[in-house]
């Protein structure tokens, strides 16, 4: 690989990128290696980038050269970096070919990472690595994949697809199949669905997209430019962080609890800054499972209105079902809220059907951008989606029941096997947000992969790389596999724990 012309990081630049990295109780070289590894994995340091020399780094951080050498050694052992005489230590490997076996890294957090430099610069997070490289649950016998917050297709979907092919396809095939805004019947079905869950919507306010991820990307592309301020829950859906980072947006992290975004914190931010929009996942938040109550939805809408800020609400983790307040847009002035949704959680991710509800004016601009990208979504998938949405309440309830069974199995397994971990019971959704009693989640995640279970370290779900002691544990796997997955996490913890437990303090307090 020709690395000429690629970036060089000097010691102050790398140190600034790493932030506070030495607060944990692991040895300094481990903490430094973990933090540099995370930055590489997040795409903050592109493949091919030359890292500062060990001597410069040691001088800048005021540490011994041995510590830096040990940290770089760890990164080399994990195939994260390569060193060559005369050309220093560079981030490995910007292979242009995803199948280039020589470019594969050791399993773990630093999963086979063979993305091109361009991918890495585009803000790609480790979730993209997993989608590109991790085999799905059905193809993996010996690795439990606790990284996918999605379910296999629900019962009945196969029949609906057959019915669609039999009954709708002849009519659809008579047309060209290019529909920039989406299949009219589907726009109508989405509008009807949104109206049913409390948000009165007309078909001309709806654009069909290739899943919610494309919806997020399109909305971000329209509303954000390099430097645009965006308020966002911390932690949040890592695909949104990807899209915002790729756009060069500056994220303002807002904490949340099981009742969703903490509005007091948002209020403080709005007092001093003017974000272009607030991205929020109000129902079954990914990864915490929080639900924003009705009163808070109204308050958030009022707050955004008072500050002239848009709200982008992402309803993807939810497809109908009881006891959930109406979308935020239902509490807001028209045109103040953009609503994103998808069939991926309640229907099936493989359909790649999502949507955007926005003002007609904004929707038209976004549709132009989408048309430039793809000329419209698959008509066959859209026709199936119409039938899924006709049964949205059933599919949504089924998905939440399946998710509940998985969450409960995982929670029980954690209670049995890792009682020291703090694993709050989410209100819904397909992930758990687990806090380790101590230690570093990235180091632990790497070890867990060696024990046959894949999870994500907290920082990948954080716009600021925080939550170094948290894990995102997705529970899309079959309950039997979930139990095995948690067993493997417990084995990993047993191997990790003894090294980390601190000697009891001998200090006397009076
Ligand atoms: C909050 C949120 N938004 C968007 C997505 C992406 O959904 P899709 O598969 O429809 O692209 C997900 C999937 O995990 C999600 O949890």
What pLDDT digit, counting tens, does each position of 4-25 carry? 445 788 888 888 788 778 877 7
Which of residues 415 and 4 earns the better pLDDT score?
Answer: 415
Nearest to 357 by CA among 210, 171, 190, 239: 190
Query: Which residue lies with its CA nearest to atom 14 of ligand 1?
Result: 149
From the CB of 149, is ligand 1 less than 6 Å away?
yes
pLDDT recorded at residue 120: 43
Å from CA of 315 to ligand 1 middle: 9
Mutate to test the pocket of ligand 1, among 286, 291, 328, 340 (most ligand atoms within 8 A of CB): 286
pLDDT recorded at residue 44: 75
Query: Which residue lies with its CA nearest to atom 4 of ligand 1?
Result: 212
Q: What is the pLDDT of residues 235-264, one digit of tens each?
A: 999 999 999 999 999 999 999 999 999 999
278 sits in the region (left: phi over 0; alpha: psi -120 to 50; else beta) called beta
From the CB of 317, is ligand 1 less than 6 Å away?
yes
CA atoms within 13 A on the CB side of 151: 27
From the CB of 403, is ligand 1 less than 6 Å away?
no
Q: What is the pLDDT of residues 115-143, one digit of tens each?
A: 334 444 445 554 444 454 444 444 445 89
From the CB of 130, is ligand 1 less than 6 Å away?
no
From the CB of 237, is ligand 1 less than 6 Å away?
yes
Mutate to test the pocket of ligand 1, among 126, 220, 288, 344 (most ligand atoms within 8 A of CB): 344
Ligand 1: atom nearest CA of 215 is 11
pLDDT bucket at 277, cuts 50 / 70 / 90: very high
From the CB of 342, is ligand 1 less than 6 Å away?
yes
pLDDT recorded at residue 500: 56
Q: Could you give the CA distance from residue 151 to residue 228 in angstroms, rounded to a whole number?
A: 34
Q: What is the pLDDT of residues 477-492, one digit of tens each?
A: 999 999 999 999 999 9
CA dihedral 195, 200, 205, 211 (to 10 degrees): -40
108 pLDDT above the threshold of 50: no
Mutate to test the pocket of ligand 1, among 237, 241, 261 (most ligand atoms within 8 A of CB): 237
CB 423 within 8 A of CB 432: yes
From the CB of 288, is ligand 1 less than 6 Å away?
no
From the CB of 314, is ligand 1 less than 6 Å away?
yes
CB 48 within 8 A of CB 5: no
Nearest to 230 by CA among 334, 311, 301, 335: 311
User: Whose structure tokens read 């060990």?
Assistant: 54
Distances (CA, A) of 225 to 253, 269, 304, 448: 18, 20, 20, 38
Mutate to test the pocket of ligand 1, among 342, 348, 351 (most ligand atoms within 8 A of CB): 342
The percent of residues in the chain predicted with pLDDT above 90, rounded, is 73
Q: Could you give the CA distance from residue 405 to residue 408 in angstroms, rounded to a whole number?
A: 5
pLDDT recorded at residue 499: 58
Å from CA of 457 to ligand 1 middle: 18
> Within 10 Å of residue 73's Cβ, how many Cβ atoms?
15
pLDDT recorded at residue 141: 58
From the CB of 123, is ligand 1 less than 6 Å away?
no
Q: Could you give the CA distance from residue 222 to residue 332 in angstroms, rounded to a whole number?
A: 21
pLDDT recorded at residue 95: 40
Mutate to test the pocket of ligand 1, among 146, 150, 212, 256 (most ligand atoms within 8 A of CB): 212
Å from CA of 434 to ligand 1 middle: 20
From the CB of 112, is ligand 1 less than 6 Å away?
no
User: Whose structure tokens read 């929707």?
Assistant: 363
173 pLDDT above the threshold of 90: yes
pLDDT recorded at residue 49: 86
pLDDT bucket at 38, cuts 50 / 70 / 90: confident
pLDDT bucket at 45, cuts 50 / 70 / 90: confident
From the CB of 212, is ligand 1 less than 6 Å away?
yes
Query: Mean pLDDT in the chain?
Result: 87
pLDDT recorded at residue 267: 97
Handedness of CA 368, 373, 374, 377 (dihedral sign): negative
Q: What is the pLDDT of residues 441-450, one digit of tens each?
A: 999 999 999 9
How many residues appear in the chain?
510
186 pLDDT above the threshold of 90: yes
Q: Could you give the CA distance from residue 113 to residue 104 in angstroms, rounded to a whole number?
A: 6
Q: SS3 string of 76-107?
A: HHCCCEEEECCCEEEECCCCCCCCCHHHCCCC
Q: Does an H or E element contain 418, and which?
A: none
Query: Which residue lies with its CA nearest to atom 15 of ligand 1?
Result: 316
Q: What is the pLDDT of residues 77-97, one digit of tens each?
A: 888 899 888 889 998 864 433
Q: Could you give the CA distance from residue 103 to residue 203 in angstroms, rounded to a whole number?
A: 47
Phi, psi torsion values for 358, nearest 5 degrees: -155, 175
Q: Mean per-residue pLDDT for 352-359? A: 98
Å from CA of 130 to ligand 1 middle: 14
Which of residues 38 and 31 earns the better pLDDT score?
Answer: 31
Q: What is the pLDDT of residues 365-405, one digit of tens each?
A: 999 999 999 999 999 999 999 999 999 999 999 999 999 99
pLDDT bucket at 106, cuts 50 / 70 / 90: very low
Q: Does an H or E element contain 312, and which?
A: strand 310-314
pTM, two decimals, is 0.78
Which of residues 115 and 452 earns the better pLDDT score?
Answer: 452
350 pLDDT above the threshold of 50: yes
From the CB of 381, is ligand 1 less than 6 Å away?
no
pLDDT recorded at residue 6: 56
Å from CA of 70 to ligand 1 middle: 39
Nearest to 191 by CA among 370, 360, 377: 360
Q: What is the pLDDT of residues 191-201, one digit of tens each?
A: 999 999 999 99
Query: Which residue lies with its CA nearest to atom 12 of ligand 1?
Result: 316
pLDDT recorded at residue 10: 87
From the CB of 211, is ligand 1 less than 6 Å away?
yes
Q: Could you give the CA distance from residue 86 to residue 196 in angstroms, rounded to a whole number?
A: 65
pLDDT recorded at residue 27: 87
Handedness of CA 129, 131, 133, 136 (dihedral sign): positive
Q: Could you give the CA distance from residue 351 to residue 395 in angstroms, rounded to a whole number?
A: 14
Listing DSSP states for 341-363 in one string gives EESIIIIIGGG--EEEE--HHHH
pLDDT recorded at residue 114: 31
Å from CA of 282 to ligand 1 middle: 13
């Amino acid at each position: 690989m020709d690395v000429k012309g690629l970036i060089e990081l000097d010691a102050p630049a790398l140190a600034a990128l790493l932030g506070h990295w030495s607060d944990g109780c692991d040895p300094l070289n481990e903490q430094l290696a973990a933090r540099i590894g995370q930055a590489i994995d997040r795409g903050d340091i592109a493949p091919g980038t030359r890292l500062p020399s060990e001597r410069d780094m040691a001088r800048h951080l005021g540490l011994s050269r041995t510590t830096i050498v040990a940290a770089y050694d760890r990164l080399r052992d994990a195939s994260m970096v390569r060193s060559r005489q005369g050309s220093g230590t560079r981030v490995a490997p910007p292979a242009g070919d995803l199948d280039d076996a020589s470019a594969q890294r050791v399993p773990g957090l630093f999963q086979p990472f063979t993305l091109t430099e361009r991918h890495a610069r585009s803000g790609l997070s480790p979730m993209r690595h997993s989608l590109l490289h991790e085999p799905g649950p059905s193809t993996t016998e010996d690795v439990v994949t606790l990284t996918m917050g999605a379910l296999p297709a629900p019962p009945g979907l196969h029949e609906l697809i057959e019915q669609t092919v039999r009954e709708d396809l002849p009519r659809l095939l008579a047309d060209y199949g290019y529909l920039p805004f989406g299949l009219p019947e589907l726009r109508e079905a989405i509008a009807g669905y949104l109206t049913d869950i409390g948000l009165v919507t007309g078909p001309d306010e709806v654009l069909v997209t290739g899943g919610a991820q494309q919806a997020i990307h399109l909305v971000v592309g329209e509303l954000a430019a390099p430097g645009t301020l965006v308020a966002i829950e911390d932690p949040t859906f890592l695909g949104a962080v990807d899209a915002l980072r790729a756009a060069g947006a500056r994220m303002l992290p807002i904490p949340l609890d099981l009742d969703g975004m903490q509005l007091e914190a948002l209020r403080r931010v709005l007092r001093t800054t003017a974000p272009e929009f607030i991205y929020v996942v109000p129902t079954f938040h990914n990864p915490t499972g929080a639900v924003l109550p009705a009163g808070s939805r109204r308050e958030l809408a009022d707050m955004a209105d008072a500050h002239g800020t848009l709200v982008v609400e992402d309803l993807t983790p939810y497809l109908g079902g009881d006891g959930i307040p109406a979308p935020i847009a239902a509490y807001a002035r028209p045109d103040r809220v953009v609503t994103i949704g998808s069939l991926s959680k309640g229907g099936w991710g493989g359909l790649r059907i999502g949507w955007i509800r926005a003002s007609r004016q904004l929707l038209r601009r976004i549709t132009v951008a989408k048309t430039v990208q793809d000329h419209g979504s698959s008509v066959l998938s859209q026709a199936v989606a119409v039938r899924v949405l006709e049964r949205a309440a059933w599919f949504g309830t089924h998905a939440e029941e399946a998710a509940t069974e998985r969450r409960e199995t995982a929670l029980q397994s954690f209670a049995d096997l890792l009682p020291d971990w703090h694993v709050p019971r989410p209100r819904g959704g397909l992930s758990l947000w687990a806090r380790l009693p101590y230690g570093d989640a990235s180091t632990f995640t790497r070890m867990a992969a060696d024990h046959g279970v894949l999870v994500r370290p907290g920082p990948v779900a954080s716009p600021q790389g925080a939550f170094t002691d948290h894990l995102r544990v997705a529970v899309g796997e079959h309950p039997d596999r979930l139990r095995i997955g948690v067993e493997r996490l417990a084995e990993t913890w047993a191997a990790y724990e003894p090294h980390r437990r601190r000697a009891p303090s001998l200090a006397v307090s009076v």
